[in-house]
Amino acid sequence: MSETPNAPNRFHEDKASFTVRGSDAPDIDAGVAAIRNVLATLPARPGVYRMQDARGEVLYVGKARALKNRVANYTQVSRLTKRLQRMVAQTRSMTIVTTNNEAEALLLEAQLIKRYRPPYNVLLRDDKSFPFILLRADHEFPRIQKHRGARRAKGNYYGPFASAGSVTQTLNALQKLFLLRSCTDGFFKTRDRPCLLYQIKRCSAPCVGRIDQAAYAELIADAKDFLAGKSTKVQAKLGTQMQAAAEAMDFELAAVLRDRLKALTFIQGSQAINADGVGDADIFAMACREGTIGIQAFFIRGGQNWGHRSFFPAHTNDVPEDEVMAAFLMQFYEEVPPPRNVFVDRDLAEAPVLAEAMAERAGFKVALSVPQRGVRRRLLDQAKRNAEEALERRNAESTTQAKLLREVADLFELEGPPDRIEVYDNSHIQGTNALGAMVVAGPEGFRKGQYRKFNIKQAQTNDDFAMMKEVLTRRFARAQEENPDRETDRDGNGWPDLVLIDGGKGQLSAAKAVLEDLGIEDVCMVGVAKGPHHGREGREVFHLMDGRELTLPVNSPVLFYLQRLRDEVHRFVIGAHRDKRAKAMGASPLDDVPGIGPARKKALLMHFGTARAVRNASLEDLQKAPGVSKAMAQGVYDFFHAR
């Protein structure tokens, strides 16, 4: 056992690790012994603990106000649920991190759950980041745009929005209302006349001076007021300006202002949820049925509805509903900045520490409460109804999906319903920019985080069979090397139960040859061909490895499901090929020259005109190029000539 010295400031500096190794087999006595050995050295102060199995994989992350008291509970086996007893039986080591207070422990717990995704923690099963609207502040004429990911750009962020569609709809309306530019800075600099957005009255064309900086700044201020919930103020201002323009007989300006007022009215009318007076708030309601939990979230900003989304946390069996909600909230706000108000549909024992942790992350006070009356209560009741309806739909879809997978297993004579289906396809244009693709599906639907692209490296790129052979060789040779025991991890990564190949006998023969060369005999592969009537949906022929061919009735649900799988791999591989082709079109021979960055590349092209001229230039000419040193010129010359 070892312990690093304590540091007084932050939890990530105040760390102690304890390790007790035991046998690999699950043994509850060995697990309790490991926990007791750690318990003997634990302090009675706040912190986070990680329980790990014999391989060091994290089983559970927990936080405590007093670590010693909390961890001691796991040694009272008879008082634990079956789920926690299984966890203790697998535990062989623990890692302890002490913190200054319980709120810091809660924040660290959420970070570690996100990092390790332990099998015994409630998990927010959603890998999609939330979109925001960004009003940039790094330009004299700020740009409005959609944003995802890290918030590094300087400016004002508004969100979260429930979906990209809701952001796009809002952005379109904002462009009509405030005429803000949405183009990139590079596009902005090169304009010498207004673009189409100006013609259709969605931009004020600051790029060519159709509006000065002061007037544009006024539009920016109005947009900020609107996004902050002051739409009445903006509406009154536009109405006054329109009246003044009409009285001055400037009917063209009055018409523009009228159209902007219509855009504002449209935004206000499109709010399906009446949230007047609520301000900035997130609303969460839970539904539970047949062992599955669903949580509905409404996002209200400035009294405006910015959409809603359903969540279905994983690993919730035997976990009290209030603990599920508390765990969900902290993981959710690990990704999203909290608003000033968070409304939930139940009292949470950890509400005070949750609110404290959210406030520390947000930088202002956050109120976590259960509304009892008024608009807030009506919104909560509406979220509750939505949660119940979404859960009913999900359970119905799960039942249908399970039935489909059983029928797929019967059709292709599998041992049981497939847990992992892999689908493969290739794409190229006359042999150029060739690549292969794999999509993955399971009982819960498509697993988009496990999709893969394969750049074709060895096969002739006009030989579809060789391309498929290369893709599958790389996939299964790597699987044999990295996962010879064919284990499936907690995210569903592992060996496939069924492989679908887009193609007929030739493609399937190439795939079978790969398995034979690698000595793999128990992976089921099926070729999916369009059949004798190409282009007619429902006439697909399924080629089996033993030479048989199957067809299904045109109204078969299993056929529709297999078509969806094939169509998804088509969509993915075509999109990947399009991206690769676009990247290749913008490539230059100068990209491969060592030590040449974008600035030097641009200087050379500006001086010589083309990359071919740079390649053919003499050493003396290269040395004359602006911004190019003698050493750099020598390097460029040697790259093209010393071969």
Token couple for 284:
């969460």
524 in a domain, yes or no?
A: yes
Token couple for 517:
């060369």
**Which amino acid type is present at position 423?**
V
Residues 300 and 346 in one domain: yes
Residues 485 and 527 in one domain: yes
pLDDT for position 543:
93
Residues 511 and 462 in one domain: yes
DSSP E strands, 329-393: 341-344, 367-369
Residues 429 and 528 in one domain: yes
Nearest 5°: CA angle at 273, between 270 and 275? 115
Cα 180 to Cα 206: distance, rounded to the nearest angstrom: 9
Cα 456 to Cα 426: distance, rounded to the nearest angstrom: 9
Sign of CA dihedral 107, 109, 342, 221: positive
- pTM, to two decimals: 0.67
| 9: phi then psi, degrees, rounded to nearest 5 | -95, -70
Cα 552 to Cα 407: distance, rounded to the nearest angstrom: 12
Q: Of the candidates 568, 584, 600, which is a domain's last residue?
A: 584
| Helix ranges restricted to H, 317-364 | 321-335, 351-362
pLDDT for position 231:
65
Q: pLDDT by residue (tens digit) across 482-526?
A: 888 777 766 667 899 999 999 888 889 989 999 888 888 889 999
Residues 142 and 258 in one domain: yes
Q: Which domain CATH number covers 631?
A: 1.10.150.20
Cα 164 to Cα 145: distance, rounded to the nearest angstrom: 12
From 242, 238, 300, select the one nearest 265 (Cα to Cα).
238
Fill in the DSSP letter of residue 126.
-
Residues 538 and 513 in one domain: yes
Q: Which domain CATH number covers 82?
A: 3.40.1440.10
106 in a domain, yes or no?
A: yes
Token couple for 568:
């998804």
409 in a domain, yes or no?
A: no
pLDDT for position 207:
93
274 in a domain, yes or no?
A: no
Residues 562 and 458 in one domain: yes
Q: Which domain CATH number covers 290?
A: 3.30.420.340
- Residue numbers of the chain with a pLDDT score lower than 50: 1-24, 270, 272, 534-535
pLDDT for position 167:
81
pLDDT for position 407:
92
Q: Of the candidates 221, 239, 269, which is a domain's last residue?
A: 269
Token couple for 609:
């005109």
307 in a domain, yes or no?
A: yes
Residues 24 and 143 in one domain: no
| Domain span at 82 | 2-116
**Which amino acid type is present at position 498?**
L
Residues 109 and 136 in one domain: no
Residues 321 and 387 in one domain: yes
Residues 571 and 607 in one domain: no
For residue 532, what are the contacts with CB-CB under 8 A and spacing of at least 6? Answer: 539, 541
Under a CB-based contact definition with an 8 Å cutoff, are residues 358 and 342 in contact? yes
Residues 453 and 547 in one domain: yes
149 in a domain, yes or no?
A: yes
pLDDT for position 31:
92
| 529: phi then psi, degrees, rounded to nearest 5 | -110, 160
138 in a domain, yes or no?
A: yes
pLDDT for position 3:
36
From 482, 476, 459, select the one nearest 518 (Cα to Cα).
476
**Which amino acid type is present at position 374?**
G
pLDDT for position 448:
87
Structural domains counted in the chain: 5
127 in a domain, yes or no?
A: no
